[in-house]
Amino acid sequence: MTERSLQITYRKGRAFAAYLHLSHQTGARSAKTNASPDGLLVVDYDASGHPVGIEITAPGSVSLERLNQLLLELGEAPLAERDYGPVLAA
């Protein structure tokens, strides 16, 4: 089982993108994606339709509240402020 973790990609010292890996079966791979209308959040789903991760394409533009709303819609636990802090600080 893969546990939830947050990965931030930097370019020239600034956060370029972030990816929230959701808890899922080890080896599960993205088979389908669904982007928000503005393209700031992209959800990856495995072949069974379970969410495996969320790409945050513009970390400085996505609030913790917005991300947590999406997590709740996906049936996932909200992310704590301390866990999203590195994205907000970047």
pLDDT in tens, the chain (90 residues): 789 999 999 998 888 899 999 998 888 899 999 999 999 999 999 999 999 999 999 998 999 999 999 999 999 999 999 999 888 876
pLDDT of residue 30: 92
Q: What is the distance between the alpha carbons of residues 32 and 45, in angstroms, rounded to a whole number? A: 5
The tally of domains found in the chain comes to 1
pLDDT of residue 14: 84
Give bridge partners of residue 15 from the DSSP assignment: 10
- Taken in order 45, 56, 80, 66, the sign of the CA dihedral is negative
Domain of residue 25 covers 5-89
pLDDT of residue 88: 80
pLDDT of residue 13: 83
pLDDT of residue 90: 67
Residue 22, CB-side half-sphere exposure with 13 Å CA sphere: 25
**8 Å CB contact between 22 and 5:** no
Q: What is the distance between the alpha carbons of residues 69 and 38, in angstroms, rounded to a whole number? A: 15
